[in-house]
């Protein structure tokens, strides 16, 4: 599809503004944040008076341009979030500007091969995102923090982060390209930056042998799940890759939490399926999980497993991993049990009575089922020696808070079409991990 002049100008400005990330080093984080704040004020209140040539038609019709405002807002958020690591904010800004901008330019001008999980995106655009975003991030890491990173390591973590950003950007799950994707990419890049010097342990024959064992175990589980109708072929493939990463980097005990989460979720989905189908509340495809399900609920634990296996904070990251799985198990069980057995349901934002299955609805029965599932995952982690006894309470509390936030997001963002169910599930999984991480830090390490 050919680019219009207006869209071309918009994307070129989008890319060009990424060059300002090089100013983070001479300015410092404080002055750079003030500049980002000034840009935010300008784009929100001044630019509309003269710069509507950069607006899309739908933005002109509604009278405001969200993306143009979110762009500097994201730069400001990155600088504040990574205040002490300004090279991370500069690199994530580079991915936002060059990765996202190049993907749009290349995808719209030359995209011919559609992605199987999202026909609106192309392989050409995603590869452009990887190359341009990864290159820009690596340059900013090396420029903003000279001497902190070996060039090869900087390029490797920049490309890995850009690949994750390209994947997130390509998913039809409603994460905003100018806000959600770069913030999540920044979190991943920050985590990867802490693994400097920790990759020697995985470049060994023993680790490679462990990868083969993990792959074999995951293939058996995927085959069984497919045979039982719990997953479709593509979901089985992606789940195998993510599960292998969890086992290889975090060990079989962490993988056991994945199995527990999947078993609990599948059992809750199958329970009373005919009745839920009659009420039009059942999961599609007979409850079989696909690629989007696997990515939305297992990609965060897989990233945490990688960081736990190569970084200096293994126990804390394993606690976050358990929190993520406990949250996903609680989310599935609370929704499935609540819509089947919930006698009364309330919209979490207004406490108004609503039919079971409504986006953002909660019930006592569903909440109890979700809490029981979270305690089961935490209890298994303790029984396997992955968590200390207090870790059970931590992951259960993290799951309870995260699923409540998920209900709020469902009642607001999902009902307005700003996020779909998979996007909500991804953020739910991430929130459970971050809350467990915060609680672990509050206890001075790992409970």
pLDDT tens-place string over residues 69-79? 888 899 999 99
Q: What is the spatial distance between Cα 120 and Cα 108, in angstroms, rounded to a whole number?
A: 10
The residues with which 118 forms a beta bridge, in sequence order, are 115
Q: Which of 296, 367, 297, 361 is closest to 337 using CA atoms?
A: 367
Closest CA to 51 of 38, 64, 61, 37: 64
> H helices of 82-200, where?
86-94, 101-110, 123-128, 134-144, 151-170, 180-193
431, 330 Cβ separation under 8 angstroms: no
d(CA 98, CA 19): 9
Cβ atoms of 343 and 363 within 8 Å: the answer is: yes
Considering the entire predicted model, what is its pTM? 0.85
- Inter-CA distances, 257 with 211, 309, 375, Å: 18, 16, 12
Please tell me the total number of residues recorded for the chain in this structure: 447
Q: Residue range 368-387: average pLDDT?
A: 96
Q: What is the pLDDT of residue 444?
A: 64
pLDDT of residue 148: 93
The average pLDDT across 115-140 equals 92
| Range with the poorest average pLDDT among 91-95, 287-291, 437-441 | 287-291
Residue 289 is predicted with a pLDDT of 80
Dihedral (CA of 90, 120, 244, 374) sign: positive
Task: Name residue 114's beta-bridge partners.
Answer: 122
Where residue 155 falls among pLDDT bands split at 50, 70, 90?
very high
**Residue 32 banded pLDDT, cuts 50, 70, 90:** very high
> How far is Cα 373 from Cα 385, in angstroms, rounded to an integer?
19
Q: Which residue has the higher pLDDT, 7 or 78?
A: 78
pLDDT digits (tens, 9 = 90+) for 282-319: 565 655 788 888 988 999 999 999 999 998 889 999 99
What is the DSSP track for 324-364? HHHHHHHHHHHHHHHHHH-S-EEETTT--EE-TT-TTEE-H
Give me the residue label for tokens 């804390």. Answer: 316
SS3 436: helix
Write down the domain spans for the chain.
5-193, 205-442
User: What pLDDT does 423 receive?
Assistant: 83
Name the CA dihedral angle for 399, 405, 411, 415, rounded to a multiple of 10 degrees.
-90
- Alpha carbons 332 and 329: distance in angstroms, whole number: 5
Percentage of the chain exceeding pLDDT 90: 49
């Amino acid at each position: 599809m050919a680019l219009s002049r207006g869209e071309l100008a918009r994307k070129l400005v989008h890319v060009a503004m990424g060059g300002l990330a090089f100013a983070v080093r001479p300015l410092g984080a404080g002055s750079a944040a003030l500049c980002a704040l000034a840009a935010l004020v300008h784009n929100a209140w001044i630019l509309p008076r003269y710069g509507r040539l950069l607006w899309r038609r739908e933005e002109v019709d509604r009278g405001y341009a969200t993306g143009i405002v979110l762009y500097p807002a994201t730069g400001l958020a990155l600088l504040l979030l990574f205040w002490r690591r300004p090279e991370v904010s500069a690199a994530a800004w580079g991915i936002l500007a060059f990765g996202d901008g190049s993907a749009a330019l290349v995808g719209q001008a030359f995209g011919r091969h559609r992605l199987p999980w999202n026909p609106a995106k192309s392989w050409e655009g995603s590869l452009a995102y990887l190359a341009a975003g990864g290159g820009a991030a690596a340059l900013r890491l090396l420029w903003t923090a000279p001497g902190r990173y070996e060039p090869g390591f900087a390029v490797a973590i920049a490309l890995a982060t850009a690949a994750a950003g390209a994947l997130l950007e390509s998913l039809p799950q409603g994460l905003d390209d100018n806000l959600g994707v770069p913030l999540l990419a920044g979190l991943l890049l920050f985590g990867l930056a802490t693994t400097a010097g920790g990759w020697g342990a995985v470049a060994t024959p023993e680790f490679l042998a462990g990868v083969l064992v993990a792959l074999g175990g995951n293939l058996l589980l995927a085959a069984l799940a497919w045979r039982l109708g719990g997953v479709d072929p593509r979901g089985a493939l992606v789940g195998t890759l993510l599960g292998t990463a969890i086992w290889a980097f975090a060990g079989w005990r962490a993988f056991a939490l994945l199995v527990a989460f999947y078993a609990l979720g599948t059992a809750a989905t199958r329970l009373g399926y005919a009745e839920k189908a009659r009420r039009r509340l059942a999961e599609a495809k007979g409850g079989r999980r696909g690629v989007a399900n696997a990515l939305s609920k297992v990609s965060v634990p897989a990233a945490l497993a990688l960081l736990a296996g190569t970084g200096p904070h293994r126990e804390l990251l394993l606690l976050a991993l358990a929190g993520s799985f406990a949250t996903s198990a609680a989310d599935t069980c609370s929704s499935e049990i609540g819509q089947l057995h919930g006698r009364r349901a309330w919209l979490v934002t207004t406490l108004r009575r609503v039919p079971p299955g409504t986006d953002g609805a909660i019930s006592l029965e569903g909440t109890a089922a979700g809490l029981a599932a979270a305690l089961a995952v935490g209890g298994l982690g303790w029984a396997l020696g992955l968590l200390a006894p207090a870790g059970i309470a931590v992951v259960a509390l993290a799951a309870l808070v995260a699923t409540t936030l998920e209900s709020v997001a469902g009642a607001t963002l999902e009902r307005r079409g700003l996020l779909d169910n998979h996007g909500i599930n991804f953020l739910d999984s991430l929130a459970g991990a971050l809350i467990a991480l915060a609680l672990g830090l509050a206890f001075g390490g790992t409970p």
